[in-house]
């Protein structure tokens, strides 16, 4: 049998946060010929890897994620040491759930994971919240968790940093080159691009987010990805000094609507968003224009709960979530196609992006990972059972 002539050891599809981290880690593991295909310009704002900040914390709804949070922190700390770039900022963080509501139940679940994993945290009541962060207006009895390690990942800078380090190690980035399908070969893969060309390699890693379905269609994908159009807003505080990172934390508000936000960082403004807006779109119907109703909803929350943060809107912008039916990660080789490795972040992977890259590089180079990724296989029932009803709330 003739051996396939390869153009690269590994092709990475997508140069967002996960794809860029994967390229870096492949080079760190000794791969000297890695090619990254990106359909847009590097650092573009069309996907889920733009902007300044993503929350990072040890609290999670499930130990499947709790088992990975320390490794995610360690991975970012390593990147800071390697690059000198401050991609991780520990601000401390509060998570708030009103008693007698679903928020109280969510806080209890998060605390169980913290307890199971042995992470330190403090249980606060309204008085302690007011003592430490009087910016909050919460009159109803609440359960509050404070985590000293909680903070933010500068996701845009993280992607830039991984790309810079990867390039220095010999990785080739090809922007404005869209992968359209993968052809499985007896001893490799061929990635076809929209320009009519192709790249042949031993392995391919697909980290294309909301664009994964079409690319993976010929190599065994059994699920459909739901695309959700999300929105963040930046507001200039009335009391600017009260919302700087040394005075105000990253926060989460757990209730029927999950709001979350950040101190002044990246812009001279605080950032606020909510999780899963319910605006399900396609690539054709997705808009880059912010929705006025969403901005008004976010502003109304600030005016009620953080009134000194609700000065005036600096700007709002949209992004997309890429959600499998159970909204859990996919970190695996495709069933029946071990040379095709996939990493899907499900709209909440930014805090894990560096670790994601390390794990995906392990799957390529060693065929397995030392991290506990069993819950995120590509052949789990939620992805293979056509009768599975999607659940997107974490």
As for how many domains the chain has, the answer is 2
Please indicate, yes or no, whether residues 330 and 366 belong to a single structural domain of this protein: yes
What percent of the chain is helix, strand and coil (3-state, nearest 5)? 30, 30, 40
The residue from 279, 304, 322 where one domain ends is: 322
Please indicate, yes or no, whether residues 36 and 160 belong to a single structural domain of this protein: yes
pLDDT above 80 (res 146): yes
Q: Does residue 311 lie in a domain region?
A: yes
pTM across the whole model: 0.96
Q: Does residue 80 lie in a domain region?
A: no
Q: Does residue 86 lie in a domain region?
A: no
For position 394, what pLDDT does the model report? 78
CA–CA separation, 230 and 317 (whole Å): 8
CATH number of the domain encompassing residue 359: 3.50.50.60
Please indicate, yes or no, whether residues 247 and 278 belong to a single structural domain of this protein: yes
Please indicate, yes or no, whether residues 138 and 160 belong to a single structural domain of this protein: no
Task: Read off the pLDDT of residues 368-394 as tens digits, 9 standing for 90 and up.
Answer: 999 999 999 999 999 999 999 999 987
Sign of CA dihedral 156, 158, 159, 163: positive
Q: Does residue 273 lie in a domain region?
A: yes
Please indicate, yes or no, whether residues 208 and 176 belong to a single structural domain of this protein: yes
Task: Read off the pLDDT of residues 364-373 as tens digits, 9 standing for 90 and up.
Answer: 999 999 999 9
**Ranges assigned E (strand) in the chain:** 8-13, 34-37, 54-56, 88-90, 93-98, 122-124, 142-147, 151-153, 172-174, 179-185, 188-193, 198-206, 226-236, 250-254, 259-262, 270-274, 280-281, 312-323, 330-334, 337-344
- The number of beta carbons lying within 10 Å of the beta carbon of residue 23 is 33
> Mean pLDDT across the stretch 197-218?
96
The residue from 274, 297, 322 where one domain ends is: 322
Whether 150 and 162 have beta carbons less than 8 Å apart is answered as no
Sign of CA dihedral 299, 300, 304, 307: positive
Please indicate, yes or no, whether residues 265 and 312 belong to a single structural domain of this protein: yes
Please indicate, yes or no, whether residues 136 and 220 belong to a single structural domain of this protein: no
Whether 99 and 107 have beta carbons less than 8 Å apart is answered as no
Structural domain that includes position 43:
8-49+156-224+326-384
Q: Does residue 73 lie in a domain region?
A: no
Please indicate, yes or no, whether residues 238 and 307 belong to a single structural domain of this protein: yes
CATH number of the domain encompassing residue 125: 3.30.9.10
Task: Read off the pLDDT of residues 267-304 as tens digits, 9 standing for 90 and up.
Answer: 999 999 999 988 999 999 999 999 999 999 999 999 99
**pLDDT interval class at 4 (50, 70, 90):** low
Q: Does residue 27 lie in a domain region?
A: yes
Nearest to 63 by CA among 1, 124, 110: 110
What percent of the chain has pLDDT above 70? 99
**Ranges assigned E (strand) in 80-237:** 88-90, 93-98, 122-124, 142-147, 151-153, 172-174, 179-185, 188-193, 198-206, 226-236
Task: Read off the pLDDT of residues 311-338 as tens digits, 9 standing for 90 and up.
Answer: 999 999 999 999 999 999 999 999 999 9
Nearest to 330 by CA among 212, 215, 218: 212
Please indicate, yes or no, whether residues 380 and 354 belong to a single structural domain of this protein: yes
For position 274, what pLDDT does the model report? 96
For position 2, what pLDDT does the model report? 47
Please indicate, yes or no, whether residues 232 and 289 belong to a single structural domain of this protein: yes
> Mean pLDDT across the stretch 222-240?
96
Q: What residues does 280 pair with on adjacent strands?
A: 228
Q: Does residue 339 lie in a domain region?
A: yes
Nearest to 161 by CA among 51, 89, 91, 80: 80
For position 49, what pLDDT does the model report? 86
For position 3, what pLDDT does the model report? 57
**Picking from 3-7, 135-139, 149-153, 222-226, which range would have the lowest pLDDT averaged per residue?**
3-7
Q: What are phi and psi of 36, to 5 degrees?
A: -110, 125
The residue from 273, 303, 322 where one domain ends is: 322
What percent of the chain has pLDDT above 90? 94
Please indicate, yes or no, whether residues 341 and 249 belong to a single structural domain of this protein: no
Task: Read off the pLDDT of residues 37-74 as tens digits, 9 standing for 90 and up.
Answer: 999 999 998 988 889 999 999 999 999 999 999 999 99
Please indicate, yes or no, whether residues 168 and 295 belong to a single structural domain of this protein: no
Kindly state the tokens that stand for 161.
């940093």
DSSP 380: S
Q: Does residue 168 lie in a domain region?
A: yes
């Amino acid at each position: 049998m003739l051996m396939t002539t390869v153009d690269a050891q590994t092709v990475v599809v997508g140069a967002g946060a996960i794809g860029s981290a994967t390229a870096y880690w492949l080079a760190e593991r000794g791969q000297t010929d890695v090619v990254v295909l990106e359909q847009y310009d590097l650092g573009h704002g069309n996907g889920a890897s733009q902007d300044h900040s993503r929350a990072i914390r040890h609290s999670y709804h499930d130990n499947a994620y709790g088992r990975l949070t320390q490794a995610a922190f360690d991975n970012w700390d390593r990147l800071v040491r390697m690059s000198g770039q401050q991609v991780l900022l520990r601000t401390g963080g509060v998570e708030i759930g009103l008693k007698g509501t679903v928020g109280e139940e969510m806080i209890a679940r998060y605390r169980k994971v913290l307890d199971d994993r042995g992470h330190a945290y403090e249980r606060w009541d309204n008085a302690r919240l007011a003592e430490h962060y009087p910016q909050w207006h919460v009159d109803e009895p609440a359960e509050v968790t404070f985590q000293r390690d909680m903070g933010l990942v500068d996701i845009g800078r993280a992607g830039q940093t991984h790309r810079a380090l990867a390039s220095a190690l010999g990785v080739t980035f090809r922007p404005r080159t869209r992968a359209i399908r993968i052809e499985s070969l007896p001893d490799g893969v061929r990635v076809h691009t929209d320009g009519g060309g192709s790249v042949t390699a031993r392995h391919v890693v697909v980290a294309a987010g909301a664009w994964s379905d079409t690319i993976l269609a010929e190599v065994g994908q059994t699920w459909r990805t739901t695309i959700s159009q999300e929105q963040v807003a930046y507001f200039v505080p009335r009391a600017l000094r009260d919302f700087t990172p040394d005075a105000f934390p990253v926060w989460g508000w757990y209730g029927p609507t999950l709001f979350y936000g950040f101190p002044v960082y990246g812009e001279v403004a605080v950032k606020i968003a909510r999780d899963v807006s319910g605006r399900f779109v396609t690539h054709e119907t997705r808009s880059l224009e912010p929705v006025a109703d969403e901005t008004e909803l976010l502003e109304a929350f600030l005016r009620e709960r953080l009134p000194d943060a609700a000065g005036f809107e600096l700007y709002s912008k949209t992004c997309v979530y890429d959600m499998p039916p159970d909204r859990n990660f996919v970190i695996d080789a495709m069933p029946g196609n071990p040379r095709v490795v996939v990493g899907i972040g499900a709209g909440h992977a930014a805090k894990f992006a560096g670790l994601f890259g390390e794990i995906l590089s392990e799957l390529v180079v060693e065929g397995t990972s030392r991290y506990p990724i069993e819950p995120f296989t590509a052949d789990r029932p939620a992805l293979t059972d056509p009768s599975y009803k999607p659940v997107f709330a974490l």
